[in-house]
Amino acid sequence: MIPVQRKMTTMKNKYFGTDGIRGRVGDTPVTADFMLRLGRAAGKVLADGDSRSVVIGKDTRISGYMFESALEAGLAAAGANVALLGPMPTPAVAYLTRTLHACAGIVISASHNPFYDNGIKFFSAEGEKLPDDIEQAIEAELDKPFSTVSSEKMGKAVRIEDAAGRYIEFCKGTIPFETMLRGLKIVVDCANGATYRVAPAVLEELGAEVIAIGTDPDGLNINESCGSTYPEFVSQAVLEHGADVGIALDGDGDRVIMVDANGNVVNGDELLYIIATARQDRGLLQGGVVGTVMSNFGLELALKAREIPFTRAPVGDRYVHKALVSHGWTLGGEASGHLLCLDRTSTGDGIVSALQVLEVMVSKGKGLKELTADVKKLPQTMINVPVNGNVSDILNSETINAAVKSVRALLGDTGRVILRPSGTEPLIRVTLEGMDANQVKQLATELAEVVRAELVN
């Protein structure tokens, strides 16, 4: 039986999605006035009566200035102190929230989306995503009239000047002290985003020869034809410079895609395999690996051959994290490059994940091509269909159900069909996987057309 995801995850929240609050700047709720109210609500829920600060970091989008100021004002109105980090990767905010003993962390970012989108992510004092009940408490506070504490109770703001240095040292500490990257020529693409300073510094301080690209943010060029969603950019640079490996991060630094010396893309599934098998060889793998419904079946087969348990979670790092915790495992992630190494850090971290792979390359003296030779990925095609309206009704239509049933019959037991709404964009993702690349592409195209036609009706 081929698993088919048709139903949208039940939305308990009014504003929070699977990865915080996100949308186009200027459209509700991604507006300055909403962020002001959100800051006050978050201050009341997360920092009410707590002398610790709320940490705020952001990526390089031009709208980040506006939202940073609005959140700061709202938090101060609630009596919460604020620690400003400036441009800083999402995982750095999670780390610094913990080490600064803050009561919460806020990231202003829309991750891999274009510059005209933005959003908000929250971290708990432990550097983890907020549970649903806390998000719901913030939403309940948002519905209350805006109020300001008395002047003597207002919050203060400070800027953490050494935030980048603290995070750089943390990243270097996630691999063995004796590991050096001398002799490696590495191209790192920072997507003109939040890692533009720290990622090259980490690699250089570990001894690598670094060619840094995507390090000239102007507020508008984040993720533009670069970064983990456009690996062709780093692939071309690897070939031009004769580099040993390429690293492509996304705009907020929680995803990583890598490229081998021949310019071939190595995605999150293959990176998970490298890390998992290396830890298994050293007796350090705790349990198994968590992927998602989108993880390639080839990864599952390769891990099975190594007798490494594998299970799938819904798409989204919070669901991968939940599955890891429930199993008592530490390693999981998505093909998109959002990897979780919970024995190293509390959230997805593109730099830390890349370092785990580079350490394996150095210790084994092998390139990415050799390290992923046993992963035989099945051909996979994903088509995004823009939507307006109730996604659940569309995906449950009789016409689409009949089309899915027909495709499943054609693919047999060696393929998969996944229809799911995006958690971050107004899209239905139509994904097919099977043994024959041409058949998979054709069937995906036909099924996507059925979905489009249903949207019109």
Residues 56 and 99 in one domain: yes
**What percent of the chain stands above pLDDT 70?**
96
Do 361 and 384 reside in the same domain of the chain? no
The answer as to whether 255 is a domain residue is yes
Q: Quick one: residue 207, left, alpha or beta (phi over 0 = left, psi -120 to 50 = alpha)? A: left
**d(Cα 163, Cα 322) in Å, to the nearest integer?**
29
List residues bridging with 381 in a β-sheet.
432
In a domain, 103, yes or no: yes
> 224 and 269, same structural domain?
yes
Spatial separation of the C-alpha atoms in residues 348 and 336, rounded to whole Å:
12
Q: Judge contact between 340 and 332, C-beta under 8 A.
A: yes
Length of the chain: 457
Q: How many CB atoms within 10 Å of residue 215?
A: 17
* Same domain? 291 vs 432: no
- Residue whose C-alpha is closest to residue 359's, from 180, 131, 116: 180
Q: Which of 21, 32, 38, 225 is nearest to 115 (CA)?
A: 225
pLDDT for residue 247 is more than 60: yes
pLDDT of residue 389: 66
Same domain flag for 287 and 244: yes
Residue 10, pLDDT > 70, answer: no
Token pair belonging to 382: 């994903």
Peptide bond into 29 cis (omega under 30): yes
* pLDDT tens-digit readout, 40-56: 999 999 998 888 999 99
Task: Tell me whether residue 147 is one of the annotated catalytic residues.
Answer: no
CATH number at residue 281: 3.40.120.10
Per residue in 388-422, pLDDT tens? 766 766 777 889 989 999 999 998 877 889 888 87
CA distances from 5 to 21, 190, 324, 418, 419 (A): 23, 33, 21, 5, 5
Contact 213, 190 (CB under 8 A): yes
Strands 289-292 and 427-433: unpaired
Instruction: State the average pLDDT over residues 332-356.
Output: 96
- In three-state form (DSSP H/G/I as H, E/B as E, the rest C), the secondary structure along 153-186 is HCCCEEECCCHHHHHHHHHHCCCCCCCCCCCCEE
Of 342, 371, 400, the residue at which a domain comes to its end is 371
What pLDDT score was predicted for residue 273? 98
The two tokens of residue 223 are: 């993720």
**Contact between 341 and 353 (Cβ < 8 Å):** yes
pLDDT score recorded for residue 390:
66
Summarised one tens digit per residue, pLDDT across range 13-25 is 789 987 899 999 9
Dist. CA 435–CA 441, nearest whole Å: 11
Say if residues 188 and 247 touch (Cβ distance below 8 Å).
yes
Q: Say whether 264 sits in a helix, a strand or coil.
A: coil
CATH code for the domain of 397: 3.30.310.50
What are 71-97's pLDDT values in tens digits?
Answer: 999 999 999 999 999 999 999 999 999
Residues 179 and 303 both lie in one domain? yes
Residue 436: half-sphere exposure toward Cβ, Cα within 13 Å: 9
Res. 7: pLDDT tops 70: no
50 against 164, higher pLDDT = 164
Q: Give a yes or no: residue 268 inside a domain.
A: yes
Per-residue confidence (pLDDT) for residue 12, from 0 to 100 = 61
When pLDDT is averaged across residues 315-342 and rounded to a whole number, the result is 95
AA identity, residue 374? D
Domain presence at residue 200: yes
Tokens linked to 447 = 């099924």
**Separation of alpha carbons 341 and 169, rounded Å:** 17
User: Does position 9 have pLDDT exceeding 60, yes or no?
Assistant: no
Binning pLDDT at 50, 70 and 90, where does residue 114 land? very high
Q: Which DSSP symbol is given to 374?
A: T
Domain end position, chosen among 371, 394, 413: 371
Element of type H or E holding 442: helix 437-456
pLDDT at position 392 is 66
Q: Where are the alpha helices (DSSP H) in 107-251?
A: 132-142, 163-172, 198-205, 232-241
Residues 186 and 283 in one domain: yes
Query: Does the residue 306 lie in any domain?
Result: yes
- Owning domain of residue 386: 380-456
pLDDT at 456: 75
Residue 6 lies in a domain: no
Are residues 137 and 182 part of one domain?
Answer: no
pLDDT mean over 443-455: 91
- Residue of 53, 63, 109, 111 with catalytic role: 111
Do 98 and 133 lie in a common domain? Answer: yes
The pTM (predicted TM-score) of the whole model is 0.89
Q: Is the pLDDT reported for residue 364 higher than 60?
A: yes
Distance CA 69, CA 56 (A): 10
3-class SS at 301? helix
Q: Same domain, yes or no, for 193 and 336?
A: yes
pLDDT for position 5: 34
Whether 117 is in a domain gets the answer yes
Whole-number mean pLDDT of the chain? 93
Residue 158 has pLDDT above 90, yes or no: yes
Cα–Cα nearest to 22, from 426, 320, 429 = 426
Same domain, 349 and 438: no
351, 371, 391 - which closes a domain: 371
- Clarify whether residues 252 and 149 are in a common domain: no
Q: Compute the half-sphere exposure of residue 323: CA atoms within 13 Å on the CB side of its CA.
A: 24
Q: Which range is least confidently modeled, 71-75, 168-172, 430-434? A: 430-434
Number of domains in the chain: 3
Q: Are 240 and 204 in contact (CB under 8 A)?
A: no
Exposure on the CB side of residue 173, measured as CA atoms within 13 A: 10
* pLDDT at residue 287, as a whole number: 96
93 to 64, 89, 109, 160, 219: CA distances (angstroms): 15, 7, 12, 12, 20
Sign of CA dihedral 5, 335, 90, 341: positive
pLDDT higher than 60, residue 4: no
**103-to-87, 148, 407 alpha-carbon distances in Å:** 20, 20, 50
Distance CA 272, CA 299 (A): 9
Is 433:296 a contact under the CB 8 Å cutoff?
Answer: yes
The pLDDT tens digits of the residues spanning 172-231 come to 999 999 999 999 999 999 999 999 999 999 999 999 999 999 999 999 999 999 999 999
pLDDT for 3:
31
Phi and psi at residue 290, to the nearest 5°: -105, 125
Q: Is residue 15 part of a domain?
A: no
Cα–Cα distances in angstroms (integers) from residue 278 to residues 283, 296, 333, in the given order: 9, 20, 16
Query: Can you tell me the distance from the alpha carbon of 14 to that of 314, in angstroms, rounded to the nearest whole number?
Result: 20
Task: Round the CA-based radius of gyration of the chain to a whole number and report it.
Answer: 22
pLDDT over 50 at 39, yes or no: yes
Q: What tens digit of pLDDT does each residue of 258-276 get? A: 999 999 999 999 999 999 9
